[in-house]
């Protein structure tokens, strides 16, 4: 798998641009900022996102540039893993076509883009 370069294809909004759903998005879950994603996502979310994409741990390691042992530790919720590693893993999964959504009750849900090539082009829910 090839790692994407250039403009941010992952479509995680910076905190300054984050906003709740407007009238056109009534009922939609708001997008999470980078900080919110990194703070909210745990190992089960990462495993679920990989499963949606059909990626192995090795695939995620290759795409993200992280080591396989780091991916394992992230998925096991080992506290010693840095926030940078978690952010890189989340951005890689989002780049592959998975979105992390915050539900009204604060839970994090996963969604897969119907057209994964659209994810790199900037299509959002």
Q: What is the pLDDT of residue 116?
A: 60
- CA 119 to CA 124: how far, in whole Å? 7
pTM above 0.75, yes or no: no
Give the residue with greater pLDDT, 109 vs 63.
Answer: 63
Of the candidates 92, 116, 91, the one whose C-alpha atom is nearest the C-alpha of residue 34 is 91
Q: What is the pLDDT of residue 46?
A: 96
Question: 30-121 has which fold?
Answer: 434 Repressor (Amino-terminal Domain) (1.10.260)
Domain ranges of the chain: 30-121
For 18-31, the pLDDT digits (tens) are: 444 444 444 555 56
- CA 118 to CA 9: how far, in whole Å? 10
- CA 7 to CA 24: how far, in whole Å? 27
* DSSP β-bridge partners for residue 117: none
Give me the residue label for tokens 């997008």: 31
Cα R_g (the chain), whole angstroms: 14
HEC assignment per residue over 13-63: ECHHHCCCCCHHHCCCCCECEHHHHHHHCCHHHHHHHHHHHCCCHHHHHHH
Tokens found for residue 47: 């495993």
Give the residue with greater pLDDT, 15 vs 67.
Answer: 67
């Amino acid at each position: 798998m090839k790692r994407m370069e250039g403009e941010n294809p992952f479509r995680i909004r910076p905190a300054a641009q984050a906003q709740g759903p407007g009238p056109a998005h009534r009922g939609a879950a708001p997008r999470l900022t980078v900080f919110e994603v990194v703070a909210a996502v745990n190992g089960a979310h990462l495993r679920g996102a990989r499963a949606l994409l059909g990626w192995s741990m090795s695939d995620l390691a290759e795409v993200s540039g992280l080591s396989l042992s780091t991916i394992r530790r992230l998925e096991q919720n080992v506290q010693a893993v840095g926030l940078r590693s978690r952010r890189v893993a989340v951005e890689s999964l989002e780049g592959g076509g998975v979105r992390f959504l915050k539900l009204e009750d604060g839970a994090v849900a996963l969604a897969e883009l119907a057209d994964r090539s659209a994810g790199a082009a900037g299509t959002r829910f």
